[in-house]
Structure 1
Amino acid sequence: MTRTRRSPYAGTLSVLLAAAVTGCGAQAEDLPREVNPPNGVSHAWATETPPDPGPGAGVVAERLYFVRDGELVAVTRNVDAQPSVDELVDDLLAGPTDVEQREGLTSSLLGNDIVVGVQLSDGRATVELTAALDESGRTDQILAFAQIVCTLTAQPGITAVRFTRGGQPVGVPHADGSLSEAPATAADYASLLAT
């Protein structure tokens, strides 16, 4: 008869296996009980309905273009309803919010006294300007026109923007510094877009 030699750790191993089989010490319960989830982020993810975003957090995306370090930066704000072109330009002329300013955004637009109004016709916006915005072609003027053109053409159905003063066409500075009375598109300012 052959005898099997028993390891000195066999007893310890059997005790550990028995402990593993019996679990972590939680006792089985006869009746189910309610378990309350912890507070905090995990609890928020487990809720069936998302929390109310509060006032000012709309469901329509409004895209505006501002300036950071000499480049155009697209900003998306959530508004309650699709803005008209006049409302869109008013929001652009109002400049970056406090939060956007803390993120380094500025505006090359001089204020809300430079645009008289905006008209839409056949996918083109015509922006009537006051005398406050000149046609010098300076970098800040190029960025100012770029902000208006890129903001308006980001809206569905608007493909180009024409500028007038007193009903007469105005030469618009493009990114390369050239002036043109032709309707401007976002492509005319593509080199100014932040990457």
Structure 2
Amino acid sequence: MRRFRVVLLAVVVALPLAGCGVPAQDEPHPVALPRRPLNVTASPTASEQAGEVAQVLCLTRDDRLVETVRRSGAALGPQRQLDLLVLGPTPAEQSQGLATSLAATGLRVTVPAPGTTAVVEISDPEEGGGRIDEALAYGQIVCTLTARPDIGAVTFVRDGRPLQVPDGDGAVTGRPLTAADYRSRIGPP
């Protein structure tokens, strides 16, 4: 009886695997992947069709971080991405309610070799350029840079000295930060 159960169990397990409908192949074959992010359902605009490389920027809407994708003809370096982040949203992004918390902020990024932790130098804030929500501003930087495949975390310095910054929950820390530290602030697109 036990042997019958073992054979029956083997047949029950093997039958679905054998008949899954995917034929075995001897050679690999190319797969055409979509060029648009999978979570975007709208048809591409002319500017999206012109570029081939997706660049993630984390902008803001209300008190939330919102990832937006811009396309360009070539991959941008981390400094150029931060420069675009400080410049803020395009007119099309503004019409969707997107903004930046980093206007008039001086940022310089380096990624010391052989690491994946970016170091962002933040200049002293300009007179009258105070932020209402610093966690949101730092979150924009961290989420933008860690969306890149070559950067895993971000630390901050001012005048070469380590800087304590707020995470997504407002806790102040000097440790390297990732997008997961701002998960509570990331909103829907």
Cα distance in 2, alignment partners of residues 62 and 54 from structure 1 = 13
Within the candidate set 135, 138, 145, 1:145 is matched to 138
How big is the shift at 1:55?
Answer: 9.7
How well do the aligned residues superpose, as a CA RMSD in angstroms? 2.0
How many positions carry a matched residue from both structures?
A: 138
Match of 1:114, as an amino acid?
G
Distance of aligned partners of 1:54 and 1:166 in 2 relative to their CA distance in 1, 3 Å threshold: closer
The answer on whether the counterparts of 1:64 and 1:151 sit within 8 Å (CA) in structure 2 is yes
Q: TM-score, normalised by structure 2?
A: 0.68
Q: Is the 8 A contact 1:125 1:161 kept in 2?
A: yes
Shift of 1:56: 8.4
Moved segments of 4+, more than 6 Å: none
Which blocks of at least 5 consecutive residues in structure 1 are unaligned? 1-52
Q: Which residue number corresponds to residue 111 of structure 2?
A: 120
Corresponding residue number in structure 1 for 2:123: 130
Deviations 1:103-158 (A, max 9, x none): 100111132x421x11113001000110118xxxx762110000000000000021
Unmatched runs of 5 consecutive residues or more in structure 2: 1-45
> What letter is aligned with 1:125?
A
| Cα distance in 2, alignment partners of residues 83 and 178 from structure 1 | 31
- Of 120, 141, 154 in structure 1, the residue corresponding to residue 147 of structure 2 is 154
Q: Does the aligned pair in 2 maintain the 1:119–1:126 contact within 8 Å?
A: yes
Q: Which has more radius of gyration?
A: 1
The match for 2:187 is: 194
Partner residue of 1:184 out of 177, 181, 186: 177
Q: Using the alignment, how far apart are the partners of 1:148 and 1:139 within structure 2?
A: 16
TM-score (norm 1): 0.66
Distance 1:91 1:56, change over 3 A: farther
Secondary structure class of the residue paired with 2:50? coil
